[in-house]
Amino acid sequence: MNCLQNLLKEPPIVGSRSMRRPSPLNLAMVRGGSRRSNTVKTTQPPGASTSGAESSALEVGTEKSEVYSTNMTHAMGAALTYRHELGMNYNFIRPDLIVGSCLQSPLDVDKLRKIGVKTIFCLQQDSDLEYFGVDICAIQDYSLKFEDIEHCRAEIRDFDAFDLRLRLPAVVSKLHKLVNCNGGVTYIHCTAGLGRAPAVALAYMFWILGYSLNEGHQLLQSKRACFPKLEAIKLATADILTGLSKNTITLKWEDDSCSSVEISGLDIGWGQRIPLTYDKEKGAWFLEKELPEGRYEYKYIVDGKWLCNEHENITKPNADGHVNNYIQVCRDGTSDDEKELRERLTGPDPNLRDEERLMIREYLEQYVDAEH
């Protein structure tokens, strides 16, 4: 089975030399510890007062955290809270691996150096940093002053399981090489350290360190309350070993009285929309789109109102009682072996055989500098 060449090309990793995918390949749990997060915040000297400007900035930061937490809860399907104004927080998952929230100033670099961090691995996009006013250039420039720590960015869109799925091979490849080069402790962070960062850490544990997915997930959850998208990791694993093929789907909204129909979800996330095209002869709105195989949730926006199509598959209600439409995209011409492998890797208890983990490791190690 040799379908690795069918994987999509990924955007370059920011803050390092761009990467390209390799040529096709042939076919200890740590002792339990506290789940309490380490929070690092700036403190004032005794007797110092807080100015009006500082109080106002704190109020703005609190409000932004509340908005971010609300959006995160809705997008991730779990009650999650992030308080940016309280400072950087993190947990040791293993003695050599930390998952946490974003650095907020160059001073955080010093704090991480003191606990043995050799690699800071940032998954945030520029828009994430701008939202909370983080000066990433100052943090990067300060890191360059030291030989015992390296700062690297590998962007993944926030709240987007599809982008996570596509980006995981490139991101974990970069992470694996940095860990091999720098040693010591690795600090993986996104904005809150609750979605992207734990997912990347878990994929690294699954693909490289030899954990089963469920074993790694249990360890992760025992150390840090978080919500990595397991389905994205499962699909990315299957994509590496069986290839990533696409198929065309058609979605339809029957209504000739509305003025606009859009769709959100699918592979674009819930923050974007795709307009449907009206067919006057059929009196209905249509969208044709190519999607990689997998399960996708979506919802229609009809004249500004979010609606499900009762003629298409509908999910079970989540904890908040919300439902979405969903579609299962399958590839054409799948062999029985590929189908069995994909079903096993995307099932409830996926595990990698020794030869499969070796293939993934070799695949990740064969990323090369695009300039060379």
Instruction: Give the catalytic positions in this structure.
Output: 190
CA dihedral 341, 76, 103, 14 (to 10 degrees): 50
Amino acid at 133: G
Ramachandran region, residue 159 (left: φ > 0; alpha: ψ -120 to 50; beta: rest): left
Q: How far apart are CA 352 and CA 365, in angstroms?
A: 18
Give the burial class of 169: count Cβ atoms within 10 A of its Cβ; 0-12 exposed, 13-18 middle, 19 or more buried. buried
CA 342, 344, 347, 350: dihedral to nearest 10 degrees?
-110
Length of the chain as a residue count: 372
CB–CB of 104/133 below 8 Å?
no
Burial of 189 (0-12, 13-18, 19+ CB in 10 A): buried
CB contact at 8 A, 300 and 261 = yes
Burial 265-303 (b: 16+ CB within 10 A, else e): bbbbbbeeebebebeeeeebbebebeebbbebbbbbbbe
Locate the DSSP E strands across 175-281. Answer: 185-189, 246-254, 261-265, 269-275, 277-279
Strand partners, 307: 300
Extended strands (E) in the chain: 19-20, 38-40, 88-94, 97-100, 117-122, 150-153, 185-189, 246-254, 261-265, 269-275, 277-279, 284-292, 294-302, 305-307, 325-329, 368-369
| Contact of 302 with 276, CB cutoff 8 Å | no
